[in-house]
Chain A
Amino acid sequence: MKVEMGLVALALSCLVLDLFLPKKKSGYILANVAMTGVALLFALLCFEWGQFGHAFGSSFVQDGLAICFKGILFIATFFVLFMAREYQAQLKRGQGEFILLILFALIGADFIASANDFLLFFVALETLSVSLYIMTAYLRDHESSIEAGVKYLILGALSTAVFLYGLSFVYGTTGSTNYLEIQQRLVSSSTLPASFIFGMILIIASLGFKVSAVPFHLWVPDVYQGAPTPVTAFLATASKTAGFAALVRLVLTVFSPAAEQLTLLFSVLAALTIIYGNLGAIPQTNIKRLLGYSSIGHAGYLLIGLAVPGLLGKEAILFYLLSYVFSTACAFLVLVALAGSIKSDAVSELTGLSKRSPALAAAMLVSLMSLAGVPPFGGFFAKFYILWSCMRSGMIWLVVIGLLNVVTSLYYYLKVVKVMYADEPAPGLPNLEVSHSQKAMQFFAIAGILVMGIFQGPFVQVAASALSSFLTTR
């Protein structure tokens, strides 16, 4: 709980600080404060490893799984805060509040990772979502941003409603909202009531919306494209991580009695999602939209981890998410660094980037290659790990689909690489200057990608012990 308290304190102190800071600088300073706070809290989080247990009548749980997801969330938020700091000029107004909203969203996401009760989970989810709706529409001068906000809000609200309705059935069937209690009651009953499965489907649909699983994904490209870049980054990383944090815990607890149906459901969803995301990305010309489609594809790979029965798939999800966060963050760091000097988010704006700024191009290259799953980057082992676990459960067809789409994804990523490296920049464009702090952050992300890609062992070990601590903490 210390971390959560710290987080709340951080958010509130930022809120107060915002009142006293000069309008023009508040965003910058708050971002720095928040980054420092998040970094410290991350350290604190690490020290909480081992102190596992429940709180608030077991509606809050702190175990390895929660800590791992929180760690990923903190890293993602750290990147997003930095992006927000560099994005001040584009925001134009409400810079301080922007940082606040990121922290609110983090609070929501953080509680999602620890929630052991649907009630807490629901409120946390809404905290995250509402903050995101607002941030998505933050660029008031851009129609696309408002449009994205509206779309996200409407569909998000629908998904909330579907979630609630599903929850009511789960609650009605079992008479509880606590994960463990529900699981116990279901295990003790001889048959699995249809109403429970019905509720489960609705809940999964709603969470599928959050993690952008086909067919609940249609908001993704539009919202990713329209939202301010740091928000897109947040959606792609932290929000998705939160969704998977919830799904993993639910699959392991509440839904575990329906393992058979889950495997069927998630494997089909995973296949559809992988195919849709990767094929849909091919014709895209907007880099953020392209990353949106690609994030759908990645959600598909992550869903494979859910489809695989047992704990291995979930370990793979942890690894995958962290590597995905590093890679995606790296790509968005580049986009944010470019934000001031490109006219639009069209891929063609990156033409000749390697000439204009080798460092940015290299960061983008590493990030895209990692996303595509090319060794020696983290994305490779992530895919390998998850497909390995899938193969273990005998779903060869899913492995084949996953692998074939690696090729597809390589195609559209390489198209971007080609634009950056092979094409000549338009004459007269100046070289781009990248600040040291930006370089440092990119370096951090690249280092993460590389370390995860080469020294996979420790990460796998942490993931494994996270899952085993989940078992012992219950």
Chain B
Amino acid sequence: MIGLHHYLIVSAALFVIGLFGLLVRRNILMVLLSMELILNAANLSFVSFSSFRGELTGQAVVFFTMIVAAAEVTVGLAMVVLLYRKKRTTNTEDLRSMKW
């Protein structure tokens, strides 16, 4: 029988995969894509809890999460475009004029 734990573990896996991508990919676009994975890991978790606890708020959160994700992606992509125009790069390792 598939229970809450199964869904949660899938969500955890998704989170970890997303985090891994975020940590190792140096292209901002890929970083943003990984970010979507992490956000959706949270979504899955919310929906599973909501479903198994019989409480609808969790799904409402997911709704808001998607709005937020969309907004963040918009801003992020705008920056990518801006950055590319300015520096001709989207690699985070090139973004280290400020350090220490």
Q: Which A residues form the contact surface with B (CB < 8 A)? A: 118-119, 122-123, 126, 130, 133-134, 137, 140, 143-144, 146-151, 153-154, 156-158, 160-162, 164-165, 167-169, 171-172, 175-177, 221-222, 225-226, 283, 289
Cβ contact of B35, chosen from A137, A158, A225, cutoff 8 A: A158
Q: Which residues of A contact B64 (CB under 8 A)?
A: 119, 122-123
How far apart are B29's CB and chain A's nearest CB, in angstroms?
A: 11
Contact A177 B61, beta carbon cutoff 8 Å: yes
Cβ contact of B76, chosen from A122, A148, A157, A175, cutoff 8 A: A157
Question: Closest 5 CB pairs between A and B?
Answer: A172-B49, A164-B42, A168-B45, A161-B38, A165-B42
Q: Which residues of B contact A175 (CB under 8 A)?
A: 49, 53, 55
- Known contacts A130-B72, A171-B58; can you find 11 more A-B pairs with CB under 8 A? A118-B61, A126-B68, A137-B82, A146-B86, A146-B87, A154-B22, A156-B72, A161-B15, A161-B38, A161-B39, A161-B42
How far apart are A146's CB and chain B's nearest CB, in angstroms?
A: 5
Contact A176 B15, beta carbon cutoff 8 Å: no
How far apart are A11's CB and chain B's nearest CB, in angstroms?
A: 17
* Category for how many chain B residues contact A: 35 or more
User: Which residues in chain B, 76-94, are within 8 Å of chain A measured between CB atoms?
Assistant: 76, 79-80, 82-83, 86-87, 92
Q: Does B28 contact A (CB under 8 A)?
A: yes
Q: How far apart sit A225 and B50, CA to CA, in the bound complex (Å)?
A: 42
Q: Does B60 contact A (CB under 8 A)?
A: yes
Contact B98 A144, beta carbon cutoff 8 Å: yes
Q: A168-B58, A172-B53 are in contact. Are A222 and B98 (CB under 8 A)?
A: yes
Contact A149 B58, beta carbon cutoff 8 Å: no
Cβ contact of B57, chosen from A161, A162, A177, cutoff 8 A: A177
Contact A160 B57, beta carbon cutoff 8 Å: no
Q: Which residues of B contact A157 (CB under 8 A)?
A: 32, 35, 39, 72, 76
User: Which residues in chain B, 31-72, are within 8 Å of chain A measured between CB atoms?
Assistant: 31-32, 35, 38-39, 41-43, 45-46, 48-50, 53, 55, 57-58, 60-61, 64-65, 68, 71-72
Q: A146-B83, A153-B79 are in contact. Are A164 and B61 (CB under 8 A)?
A: yes
Q: A140-B82, A161-B35 are in contact. Are A153 and B46 (CB under 8 A)?
A: no
Q: Which residues of B contact A133 (CB under 8 A)?
A: 72, 75, 79
Q: Which B residues form the contact surface with A (CB < 8 A)? A: 15, 18, 22, 28, 31-32, 35, 38-39, 41-43, 45-46, 48-50, 53, 55, 57-58, 60-61, 64-65, 68, 71-72, 75-76, 79-80, 82-83, 86-87, 92, 95-100
How far apart are B94's CB and chain A's nearest CB, in angstroms?
A: 9
Q: Which residues of A contact B53 (CB under 8 A)?
A: 172, 175
Grouping DSSP codes into helix (H, G, I), strand (E, B) and loop, the B interface class, with mixed when no group exceeds half, is helix
Contact B86 A140, beta carbon cutoff 8 Å: yes
Q: How far apart sit A130 and B67, CA to CA, in the bound complex (Å)?
A: 12
Contact A171 B95, beta carbon cutoff 8 Å: no
Contact A158 B38, beta carbon cutoff 8 Å: yes
A and B contact pairs by CB, cutoff 8 A, 23 listed: A130-B75, A140-B82, A147-B96, A147-B97, A148-B98, A150-B28, A154-B22, A154-B35, A157-B35, A161-B15, A161-B42, A164-B39, A164-B61, A165-B45, A168-B45, A169-B45, A171-B46, A175-B49, A175-B53, A175-B55, A177-B57, A283-B100, A289-B98
Q: Which residues of B contact A158 (CB under 8 A)?
A: 22, 35, 38
Cβ contact of A165, chosen from B41, B58, B60, B79, cutoff 8 A: B41
Q: How far apart sit A20 and B80, CA to CA, in the bound complex (Å)?
A: 31
A125 nearest in chain B by CB position:
B68
Contact B98 A147, beta carbon cutoff 8 Å: yes
Q: How far apart sit A120 and B88, CA to CA, in the bound complex (Å)?
A: 39
Q: Which residues of A contact B61 (CB under 8 A)?
A: 118-119, 122, 164, 167-168, 171, 177
Q: Which residues of A contact B28 (CB under 8 A)?
A: 150, 154
Q: How far apart sit A312 and B65, CA to CA, in the bound complex (Å)?
A: 36
Q: How far apart sit A153 and B80, CA to CA, in the bound complex (Å)?
A: 11
Which of A147, A156, A164 has the largest count of B CB atoms less than 10 A from its CB?
Answer: A164
Q: How far apart sit A158 and B23, CA to CA, in the bound complex (Å)?
A: 10
Q: How far apart sit A147 and B28, CA to CA, in the bound complex (Å)?
A: 11
B23 nearest in chain A by CB position:
A158
Q: How far apart sit A151 and B43, CA to CA, in the bound complex (Å)?
A: 24
B55 nearest in chain A by CB position:
A175
Q: Which residues of B contact A162 (CB under 8 A)?
A: 38
Contact B68 A160, beta carbon cutoff 8 Å: yes
Q: Which residues of B contact A221 (CB under 8 A)?
A: 98
Q: Which residues of A contact B98 (CB under 8 A)?
A: 144, 147-148, 221-222, 225-226, 289
